[in-house]
């Protein structure tokens, strides 16, 4: 598969207090904004429970964090399809299996620090005895999204995943 020369790297920082950042890909016209959030259950005036996302202010072991990257085309021209957003799984966190999302995206994973990416079922790890096995979701080090459509001027999208603080 050929990936366009536009290659976005969005790095999520280790959680220390609230996290939110914006990255502009040089000469690409794409702005990427990242945020880490948790979900809190609230009860409305009507008595119904609902989940509400709030920025992370404190993350203790066992906290489920939602990492979301919003990308937006700031140019007056469409951005070619197949642009890439890479996201490391933050240190001291474990990816939550099946949680990666991104409309119109191919989602790939890495277990070697982002050197190689593949479909979850194709990722292999060698045990201490040298035998190969399929990688577990908690062993993923990075998530990659390949956006498969053109991104029209002024349009945006979201990609993300969940991880649990160790």
Tens digit of each residue's pLDDT (9 = 90 or more) over 15-50:
333 344 555 454 578 999 999 999 988 888 899 999
The confidence score (pLDDT) of residue 34 equals 94
Could you give phi then psi for residue 18, rounded to 5 degrees?
-75, 145
Positive or negative: CA dihedral 149, 104, 39, 161: negative
Asked if residue 140 has pLDDT above 90, the reply is yes
Predicted structure pTM score:
0.81
Contact residues for 157 (Cβ-Cβ < 8 A; gap 6+): 70, 71, 102, 103, 104, 147, 151
16-25, 47-56, 113-122: which has the minimum mean pLDDT? 16-25
Classify 7-165 by CATH class.
mainly beta
Give the span between the Cα atoms of 145 and 148, in whole angstroms. 9
The candidate with the shortest Cα–Cα distance to 97, out of 153, 67, 136, is 136
The confidence score (pLDDT) of residue 37 equals 96
pLDDT band at residue 12 using 50, 70 and 90 as cut-offs: very low
Give the span between the Cα atoms of 50 and 33, in whole angstroms. 25
Q: Is 111 left (phi over 0), alpha (psi -120 to 50) or beta?
A: alpha
11-25, 41-55, 116-130, 136-150: which has the minimum mean pLDDT? 11-25
């Amino acid at each position: 598969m050929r990936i366009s020369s536009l290659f976005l790297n969005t790095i999520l920082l280790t959680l220390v207090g609230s996290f939110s950042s914006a990255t502009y890909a040089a000469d690409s016209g794409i702005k990427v904004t990242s945020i880490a959030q948790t979900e809190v259950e609230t009860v409305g005036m009507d008595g119904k429970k609902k989940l509400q996302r709030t920025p992370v202010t404190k993350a203790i072991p066992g906290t489920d964090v939602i990492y979301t990257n919003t990308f937006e085309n700031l140019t007056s021209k469409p951005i070619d399809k197949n642009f890439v957003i890479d996201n490391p799984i933050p240190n001291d966190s474990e990816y939550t299996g099946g949680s990666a999302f991104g409309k119109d995206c191919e989602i790939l994973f890495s277990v070697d620090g982002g050197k190689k990416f593949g479909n979850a079922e194709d990722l292999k790890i060698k045990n201490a005895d040298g035998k190969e096995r399929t990688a577990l979701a908690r062993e993923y080090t990075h998530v990659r999204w390949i956006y498969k459509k053109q991104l029209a001027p002024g349009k945006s999208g979201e990609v993300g995943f969940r991880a649990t603080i160790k």
